[in-house]
Structure 1
Amino acid sequence: MSDLKLKIAFWNYDRTQALADGTVKIDGVDASFENTRIVSEIFERMIRQCEFDVSELGLTYYLRTLDFDNPPFIAIPVFPNRCFRHSAIYINKSSGIQKPQDLAGKTVGEFAMYGHDAGVWPKGILSDEYGVTPDQCRWVIGGLDWPLAPIDFIPRAQPANVNVTWAPEGTDLGEMLETGAIDALISADVPKCVLNNSPQVARLFPDYESVERNYYQQTGIFPIMHTVVVSKELLAQHPGLAQSLYQGFCDAKDVAIKQYKTGMIFNNMGIMVPWLSQLLAEDRFLLGDDWWPYGVEANRKEIDTFLRYHFEQGLSKRWLTCEDIFVPELLGT
């Protein structure tokens, strides 16, 4: 019996490279892999045309598809993108913002859409830890240093009690931050003015690494941004496929982890990052030997927290659970 042919799409990550280059095979699957210039292009092609059988999707993108009349996807507990997000909040130095509470009453830009994955987390953290809720700010949604087509392929939920406007297409929120047209910015991507060390801008948390490490020590949360979804119809036709896909992604991640661990023997000379081995040692000490876990149970706190934030921020019609969003046979992973 021939292997099942599948089209699989994800961005160019070290933890998926072993799948893309054929080092790791998915049992029973003849896979072709696709990448794109920016990861949101994968999201759009998957949601608009169901172009892939298996695809990376931002968590909020996936959750919003659950509001479709006939949701086409279900997730497996694989998380190819995760990132601490205190560092995603930027301020104009003339805005009077000295501490998180000062964001109340300010105009805040947000990259791409209201409630992108890297926006849900900071908003939730600001609310939980500092008492600053989204309704206390004015929000302007737009792009950064290159023209960004409107994210119009998923529901653009907007709470009635939150002031949200959209900047004209092609607007650069980074430029608006630098000139003071907005007071602050939340963005997955780093704006050019920050990369260029503009004296007009800064991060809300200048020592963000220490803040984020302390956040992990206090909460145990390593924020998840993206998951992997599969066509529901495909899974119905091929029992056991979800487990094979999950195992393939786990095996590929294990290859990347082994490469980093082995690289420490040779001081990771193949990568142009000074003191990388020390950073890896510090991360393993804090996050554990598997510092990028897959599976439901190892990530339940992160997932439950994101699902709560998503509901509290008016992005989900109801408060979802892990049982609502993942393949049932993988809930015990």
Structure 2
Amino acid sequence: MRNRKLDIAFWNYDRTRLLADGTVKIDGVDATFHSARIVPQIFEAMIQQRTYDVSELGMTYLLRTFVNGESPFAAIPVFTNRAFRHGAIYINRASGIKRPEDLRGKRIGELALYGHDAGVMSKGILSDEFGVRPDQCRWLIGGIDFPMDPVDFVSRPVPAGVEVEYADKGVDLGDLLEAGEIDALISADIPKCVLEKSQRVGRLFEDYEAAERDYYRRTAIFPIMHTVVVTRKLAAEQPEVVKAVYQGFLAAKNQMAEQYVKGMTFNNMDVMVPGFTKLIGDRRDLLGDDWWPYGIGANRAAIDAVLRYHCAQGLTDRLLTIEDVFVPGLLNS
């Protein structure tokens, strides 16, 4: 039987590299792989033109496609991008912000969208852990120094009672943060003023790694930013192909992780990151041997958090469930 031709898109990650270079094959699939300069370009092509059969999508981009509980896409439980987000909250040091509760009443910048993936998680954590709600702050949405088109290809809901303003194209929120024109910034990408160690700015959680470790130990949530989706049509008509796609992504991720672990014997000398071997060991101690898990079972707490935060922040019109969002045949993964 002839292999099913599929166009598959994702960014250039180590966990997908063995798929893209042909080391890992997807059983029964003749795959053509695609990428882009920045990952939102992949999202736009999938959402606007259905360019691909299988595509990486940010969780918030996927959830914004749901209307009356229905979406043209279904997720497979592959999580190409995930990150703890305590370190994604930046402050102007002259703003008077010393602790999370001090964000109330402040003007806060946010990258790209009201509720970009890092913002959804950061706001959810601020609300759950410190009682700071989005409606207690004022929001300015825009870009930073890295060139990126405005995100106007998905719905941009703003819940009642939340003050949200969009900055003009070309406005750099990092510059505004350094100048004190905004008090804080939530951003998946690190602004130049932080990378260049301006004394005018810092992080809300100075020891954010310790805060993130404590958060994980208490919640078992390793936050999810991006997943991989297929069209509902493909999921319904060829469920075995979709399962094979999942297995391919899983094998590529597992084999790359195995390379890192085996490389510890030789101090991972092929990686130009001092202390990389210790970093792997530390992360395995915290997160377990499978430190970047795929599948529903190992990620239920993290998925539920995203869905709950998305609803609580007024970005979906109802609380979606795992069963609403993911391919039925992989719910037991």
Q: Same fold (TM over 0.5)?
A: yes
- In the TM superposition, residue 2 of structure 1 has moved relative to its aligned partner by 1.5
What fraction of aligned residue pairs are identical, expressed as a percent?
Answer: 62
Secondary structure of the residue that 1:76 maps to in structure 2?
strand
* 1:184-222 CA distance string (max 9 Å, x none): 000000000000001110000111111111111111110
Tell me the equivalent position of 2:148.
148
Residue 25 (structure 1) aligned with residue 34 (structure 2):
no
Secondary structure of the residue that 2:64 maps to in structure 1?
helix
Equivalent-residue separation in structure 1 for 2:259 and 2:140 (angstroms): 42
Q: Do the aligned residues in 2 keep the contact of 1:147 with 1:169 (CA within 8 Å)? A: no
Equivalenced residues, count: 333
Structure 1 runs not aligned, ≥5 long = none
Q: TM-score, length-normalised on structure 1?
A: 0.98
Residue 194 (structure 1) aligned with residue 185 (structure 2):
no
Distance 1:273 1:3, change over 3 A: same
Equivalent-residue separation in structure 1 for 2:106 and 2:200 (angstroms): 17
Tell me the equivalent position of 2:52.
52
TM alignment of 1:124-273, pairs within 5 A: 124-273=124-273
Give the residue type in structure 2 aligned to 1:327.
V
Q: Do the aligned residues in 1 keep the contact of 2:239 with 2:329 (CA within 8 Å)? A: no
- In the TM superposition, residue 68 of structure 1 has moved relative to its aligned partner by 7.6
Equivalent-residue separation in structure 1 for 2:48 and 2:239 (angstroms): 26
Equivalent-residue separation in structure 2 for 1:12 and 1:145 (angstroms): 21
Tell me the equivalent position of 2:293.
293
Equivalent-residue separation in structure 2 for 1:125 and 1:280 (angstroms): 26
Secondary structure of the residue that 1:144 maps to in structure 2?
coil
Residue 118 (structure 1) aligned with residue 118 (structure 2):
yes
Residue 3 (structure 1) aligned with residue 3 (structure 2):
yes
Q: Do the aligned residues in 2 keep the contact of 1:148 with 1:170 (CA within 8 Å)? A: no
* 1:17-48 CA distance string (max 9 Å, x none): 11001111101000011111111110011101
- In the TM superposition, residue 66 of structure 1 has moved relative to its aligned partner by 1.3
Secondary structure of the residue that 1:185 maps to in structure 2?
strand
Equivalent-residue separation in structure 2 for 1:113 and 1:40 (angstroms): 12
Secondary structure of the residue that 2:79 maps to in structure 1?
coil
Tell me the equivalent position of 1:86.
86
Distance 1:204 1:70, change over 3 A: closer
- In the TM superposition, residue 306 of structure 1 has moved relative to its aligned partner by 0.9
- In the TM superposition, residue 297 of structure 1 has moved relative to its aligned partner by 1.1
Equivalent-residue separation in structure 2 for 1:230 and 1:240 (angstroms): 13
Q: TM-score, length-normalised on structure 2?
A: 0.98
Tell me the equivalent position of 1:41.
41
Q: Do the aligned residues in 1 keep the contact of 2:178 with 2:193 (CA within 8 Å)? A: yes
Residue 101 (structure 1) aligned with residue 90 (structure 2):
no
RMSD: 1.1
Tell me the equivalent position of 1:61.
61
Distance 1:69 1:208, change over 3 A: closer
* 1:257-286 CA distance string (max 9 Å, x none): 111011101100101111111111011011
Q: Do the aligned residues in 1 keep the contact of 2:80 with 2:226 (CA within 8 Å)? A: yes
Secondary structure of the residue that 1:251 maps to in structure 2?
helix
Equivalent-residue separation in structure 1 for 2:281 and 2:330 (angstroms): 31
Tell me the equivalent position of 1:323.
323
Q: Do the aligned residues in 2 keep the contact of 1:6 with 1:29 (CA within 8 Å)? A: yes
Equivalent-residue separation in structure 1 for 2:332 and 2:256 (angstroms): 24
- In the TM superposition, residue 70 of structure 1 has moved relative to its aligned partner by 6.5
- In the TM superposition, residue 148 of structure 1 has moved relative to its aligned partner by 2.9
Q: Do the aligned residues in 1 keep the contact of 2:87 with 2:208 (CA within 8 Å)? A: yes
Give the residue type in structure 2 aligned to 1:11.
W
